[in-house]
Amino acid sequence: MPAWRPSATGIEIAVRVTPRSSRDMLAAGTEEHFAARLAAPPVEGAANAALVPLVAKTFGVPKRDVTLVAGETSRLKRLSIAGDGAALEQIARSLYGEGHDG
The predicted-structure confidence for 24-71, as pLDDT tens digits, reads as follows 999 999 999 999 999 999 888 899 999 999 999 999 999 999 999 999
The helix or strand, by DSSP H or E, that contains position 87, with its residue range, turns out to be helix 85-96
Give the whole-number percent of the chain exceeding pLDDT 70. 94
Average pLDDT, the chain: 92
The tens digit of pLDDT for each residue in 80-92 reads: 999 999 999 999 9
In 3-state terms the chain splits into helix, strand, coil percentages (rounded to 5) of 30, 30, 40
What pLDDT does residue 100 have?
53
Has residue 98 got a pLDDT over 60?
Answer: no
Instruction: Give pLDDT, residue 96.
Output: 86
All structural domains of the chain, each given as residue ranges with its CATH number in brackets, are 4-98 (3.30.1200.10)
